[in-house]
Amino acid sequence: MSDSINADPFNFFLTAAGNDQVKQVSNMDRELYFRSQHSSMINGLQGCYAAYGPVVRLAKRWVASHLFSACLVEEAIELLVAYIFLKPLPFNAPSSRITGFLRFLRLLVDYDWTFSALVVDINNDLTPNDEKEISDNFMSSRKTYEENVQSVNPAMFLATAYDKASEAWTRFSPNSMELKRLMAYAGSSANFLTKLISEDHNDSYRWECLFKTPLNNYDAVILLHGDKLPYPQRLLFSSELNQGVHVARGNASKVFHPFLLAGDLNGNSEDLRNKLLKEYSNTFKLWYDSLGGDAVGITWGRYSSKKRGREEEAEEVKDPTDVLKDVGKVGKGFVRGIYLLKAPRLMG
Quick: pLDDT tens for 284-297.
Answer: 888 999 898 899 99
230 and 342, same domain (yes or no):
yes
C-beta separation of 337 from 223 below 8 A = yes
Query: Of residues 282 and 278, which shows the higher confidence score?
Result: 282
Question: Pairing relation of β-strands 346-347 and 303-304?
Answer: parallel
Question: Element (H or E) spanning 204, and its range?
Answer: helix 204-208
SS3 195: helix
SS3 265: coil
Q: How confident is the model at residue 103 (pLDDT cuts 50, 70, 90)?
A: very high
152 and 228, same domain (yes or no):
no
183 pLDDT more than 80? yes
Read off the pLDDT of each residue in 84-88 and give the average, rounded to a whole number: 96
Tally of structural domains, the chain: 2
246 and 157, same domain (yes or no):
no
Pick the most confident of 125-134, 207-216, 332-341: 125-134
Q: Provide the pLDDT for residue 277.
A: 55
Q: How confident is the model at residue 254 (pLDDT cuts 50, 70, 90)?
A: confident
Q: Is 120 exposed, middle or buried (0-12, 13-18, 19+ CB in 10 A)?
A: buried
Q: Report the chain's mean pLDDT, rounded to a whole number.
A: 82
Read off the pLDDT of each residue in 61-88 and give the average, rounded to a whole number: 96
User: Is there a domain that residue 100 lies in?
Assistant: yes
User: Is there a domain that residue 211 lies in?
Assistant: no
Name the residue range of residue 140's domain: 49-183
Least confident residue range of 24-28, 96-100, 310-314:
310-314
269 pLDDT more than 90? no
User: Is there a domain that residue 338 lies in?
Assistant: yes
CA angle (15, 21, 27) in 5-degree steps: 125
Q: Where are the beta strands (DSSP E) in the chain?
A: 118-119, 158-159, 220-224, 245-249, 284-287, 295-300, 303-304, 308-310, 313-315, 335-340, 346-347
Read off the pLDDT of each residue in 136-164 and give the average, rounded to a whole number: 86
Domain end, chosen from 136, 164, 183, is at 183
Residue 122: closest CA among 152, 93, 165, 79:
79
Least confident residue range of 207-221, 256-270, 280-294:
256-270
| DSSP secondary structure string for all residues of 107-141 | HHHHS-TTT--EE--TTS---HHHHHHHHHHHHHH
Q: How confident is the model at residue 38 (pLDDT cuts 50, 70, 90)?
A: very high
Q: How confident is the model at residue 260 (pLDDT cuts 50, 70, 90)?
A: low
321 and 258, same domain (yes or no):
yes
Read off the pLDDT of each residue in 315-326 and give the average, rounded to a whole number: 77
User: Is there a domain that residue 272 lies in?
Assistant: yes
177 and 118, same domain (yes or no):
yes
Q: Provide the pLDDT for residue 270.
A: 42
User: Is there a domain that residue 134 lies in?
Assistant: yes
169 and 250, same domain (yes or no):
no
Q: Provide the pLDDT for residue 200.
A: 76
Query: Percentage of residues in the chain with pLDDT exceeding 90?
Result: 54
264 and 313, same domain (yes or no):
yes
3 pLDDT more than 50? no
pLDDT in tens, 224-236: 998 888 888 888 8
User: Is there a domain that residue 233 lies in?
Assistant: yes
User: Is there a domain that residue 118 lies in?
Assistant: yes
275 and 179, same domain (yes or no):
no
Read off the pLDDT of each residue in 105-128 and give the average, rounded to a whole number: 95
Calpha distance 38→283 (Å, rounded): 35
Q: How confident is the model at residue 8 (pLDDT cuts 50, 70, 90)?
A: very low
Q: Provide the pLDDT for residue 83.
A: 98
202 pLDDT more than 80? no
User: Is there a domain that residue 195 lies in?
Assistant: no
228 and 337, same domain (yes or no):
yes
304 pLDDT more than 70? no
Calpha distance 109→188 (Å, rounded): 10
141 and 234, same domain (yes or no):
no
228 and 173, same domain (yes or no):
no
Q: Provide the pLDDT for residue 209.
A: 86
pLDDT in tens, 43-60: 999 999 999 999 999 999
Q: Provide the pLDDT for residue 207.
A: 83
C-beta separation of 281 from 224 below 8 A = no
167 and 273, same domain (yes or no):
no
Kindly give the residue spans of alpha helices, DSSP state H, lying in 49-175.
Answer: 52-65, 74-86, 97-110, 128-141
Query: Percentage of residues in the chain with pLDDT exceeding 70?
Result: 78
161 pLDDT more than 90? yes
